[in-house]
A = this chain, B = another copy of it.
Amino acid sequence: MNFSSKLIQEAVGQISQLPGIGKKSALRLVLHLLKESPETTKELSASLLNLRNGIKYCKACHNISDDEYCSICTNSYRDKSVICIVEEIPDVMAIENTNYYKGLYHVLGGLISPIDGVGPSELTIDSLIKRIENDKNIKEIIFALSATMQGDTTAFYISKKLKPYSLKISTIARGIAIGSELEYTDEITLGRSIATRINFEH
């Protein structure tokens, strides 16, 4: 593409490096910014820089945080006896948005995946063990990991490591999604959901 301006070319190049944004979308964003007041661009730039330079990771759960400990770990209304183990930060947000869970989290930063060269030491598993050792309030662990081989491997590895601590360990239910029709559910999910059927309350 011919942009007839090096400044535009530079900005489009930078924006189109972001995931899911091609050169055409990047150009549209750039032209939008040029139509808006210079303050809009200034505020956008500042918020990105503030974010990148100011962001911290919670020392306990490794969630993103503005301070040393995140707003979930420091919230006195949360149930500090349960830790929900998730892969990445967006998973915390997803669970928070359900408004169902009131315990704490632990962000692993990935899943064990030998093919991708990710071993247990790359994840925050040691930090989890230390956390459980130091905090006798923790009674329960919930795995909320992806229903993939990596997720299962990781849950299995961690549960082995947690054996000495006599905790209640569970994993989130796998089955057909609410609202989805039986005939379109894949066989593995359907088979598992029959095997792990729950009592019908009536």
Contacts and interface: CB of A to CB of B under 8 A. Distances in A.
Interface of A: 1-8, 10-11, 13-15, 17-21, 25, 27-34, 38, 40-55, 63-66, 70-72, 89-90, 92-93, 96-97
Chain A residues touching B, majority SS: helix
A19 B28 CA distance: 8
A136 to B, nearest CB: 25
Contacts of A65: 4-5
A15 B27 contact: no
Contacts of A15: 44
A89 B5 CA distance: 11
Nearest to A50: B7
A30 B45 contact: no
Contact of A53 (B3, B4, B38, B40): B38
Contacts of A10: 47, 50-51
A124 B33 CA distance: 21
16 contacts: A2-B96, A4-B72, A4-B92, A5-B65, A5-B66, A7-B51, A7-B66, A13-B47, A14-B44, A14-B47, A14-B48, A15-B44, A18-B44, A21-B29, A33-B52, A34-B51
The 6 closest A-B pairs by CB, nearest first: A41-B52, A45-B45, A11-B51, A14-B47, A11-B47, A2-B96
B32 A41 contact: no
A77 B31 CA distance: 27
A41 to B, nearest CB: 4
